[in-house]
Amino acid sequence: MAKRSLIGMAFAGALAATGLGLPVTSTPAAAADTVCSVWVVETSRIPHIPYGGFMPDRAFIPGSTSPMHNVEWADLPVNIGVIKCGNELMLYDSGWKQAEYHKMLGVDHFVPLADELKALGFDAKDVTRVFIGHAHWDHAGQLSDLPNATLYVQREELRGIEWALNYPNEHIKAQNVSPGGCARTPACGYEPLTLEQVYGKVLSGKAVIVDGEMEVIPGVKIHPAFRAHTNGSQLLEVPTAKGKMVFGSDAYSSWEGIRDWMVANIQQTDSVQQFLAYEKCYKITGGYNNCVSAHEPTSYTAAYPLLANSWLIGNGAHAAEVTLAPGEHSRKP
């Protein structure tokens, strides 16, 4: 399995290096005054993560009464953005479905992405585009369930993956299913079953390999956030009736981190670049309220206002109706 993935990655790397694959162009499919509807769904939850491992500045200190240091564990949702702009149905991230990987972290509340879309009244076959903030296992693991969706991934992300997994030092190229696993190695998060999903899209001609900035349809824009979490992290700007929103995947792992200017979920990360990704949301949206986080522990509660309009969508997982475009009907039961 790993060998097949590495062969695929070598070929995909050649595609990326030569600029092959789908052309990096866009055909506007919405009016210039695009207003999109947004929902966020929790595809699973990763329980019992040490808070200091998630946010180093909030490490637990026994006996502390400070809210900065009196929370020992965090349960982290795995959030996916569902975006409807006119007739375009798009996703930001895709979560994961690989049961063997779920077992490694004790993941619970898993609901297949296709089932969550169905609960919102959508069909996975109708998704036209899927943007991955990066290609880690919990964000790019259900792409094969979106048969008609074109994947958008940064060329720099593919380069980072190929460099890390082909590095000759066993410790540096260690990933999650390597002997002994991985911690924060350059390849951690890039395991075989997920990369088969990513490179499956690339090799089948269902991917746009992006170089930096890109306007996909009027008002919907990709912004690079290189090394804000991984080599080729990317943000997505979306115009809505609540103003512009920015999806950040793990560059925006914690909404409270964005609000309070604290790093979170450091992986293949330059903390300076993560702060610059935070600043990008402030500049685009005018603050921090419309920054969409992938793993904010307070998701689907009043503590994270953007996702507070929520309900249970199945198996203990949540959905939130964030904003509706004019004429769009509510999907909340």
Coil, helix or strand for 26? Answer: coil
DSSP secondary structure string for all residues of 122-144? --GGGEEEEE-S---TTTSB-GG
Q: CB–CB of 137/181 below 8 Å? A: no
- Average pLDDT of 185-213? 97
- State how far the Cα of 258 lies from the Cα of 18, in Å rounded to an integer: 36
For the chain, the first-to-last Cα distance in angstroms comes to: 42
Domain ranges of the chain: 44-58+72-139+207-323
In the sheet that holds 214-217, the strands lie side by side as 214-217, 220-224, 234-240, 243-247, 291-292
Please report the pLDDT score of residue 173 as a whole number.
96
Residue 26 has pLDDT above 50, yes or no: no
Measured in degrees and rounded to the nearest 5, phi and psi for residue 295 equal -135, 20
Q: CB–CB of 322/304 below 8 Å? A: no
Please report the pLDDT score of residue 183 as a whole number.
87
In 125-254, where does DSSP find H-type helix? 155-165, 192-203
- Dig out the tokens for 192 from the structure: 């075989």
CA distances to 9, 12, 75, 95 from 6, rounded to whole Å, are 5, 10, 33, 22
User: In this structure, which amino acid lies at residue 41?
Assistant: V
- State how far the Cα of 201 lies from the Cα of 214, in Å rounded to an integer: 19
Strands (E), 161-308: 207-210, 214-217, 220-224, 234-240, 243-247, 291-292
Q: CB–CB of 93/137 below 8 Å? A: no
CA distances to 8, 199, 235, 250, 283 from 247, rounded to whole Å, are 29, 23, 6, 9, 14
Query: Would you tell me the crossing angle of helices 192-203 and 2-18 to the nearest 10 degrees?
Result: 40
Sign of torsion over alpha carbons 276, 278, 279, 285: positive
Q: CB–CB of 278/293 below 8 Å? A: no
pTM: 0.92
pLDDT in tens, 270-325: 999 999 999 999 999 999 999 999 999 999 999 999 999 999 999 999 999 999 99
Please report the pLDDT score of residue 304 as a whole number.
98
Q: Which residues of 98-115 are buried (b: 16+ CB within 10 A; e: fewer)?
A: beebbeebebebbbbbbb
Please report the pLDDT score of residue 137 as a whole number.
94
What share of the chain in percent tops pLDDT 70?
90
Please report the pLDDT score of residue 32 as a whole number.
55
Which of 93, 44, 45, 74 has the alpha carbon at shortest distance from 247?
Answer: 93
Name which residue leads in pLDDT, 125 or 2. 125
Average pLDDT value for the chain: 92
Please report the pLDDT score of residue 159 as a whole number.
98
pLDDT in tens, 36-77: 999 999 999 999 999 999 999 999 999 999 999 999 999 999
In 57-191, where does DSSP find H-type helix? 99-105, 113-119, 155-165
Please report the pLDDT score of residue 19 as a whole number.
46
CATH 3.60.15.10 fits 44-58+72-139+207-323, yes or no: yes
pLDDT in tens, 240-269: 999 999 999 999 999 999 999 999 999 888
Q: Are strands 214-217 and 207-210 parallel, antiparallel or unpaired?
A: unpaired
Please report the pLDDT score of residue 119 as a whole number.
98
CA distances to 137, 154, 162, 261 from 9, rounded to whole Å, are 15, 14, 6, 36
Please report the pLDDT score of residue 176 as a whole number.
94
How would residue 10 be classed by pLDDT, with cut points 50, 70 and 90?
very low
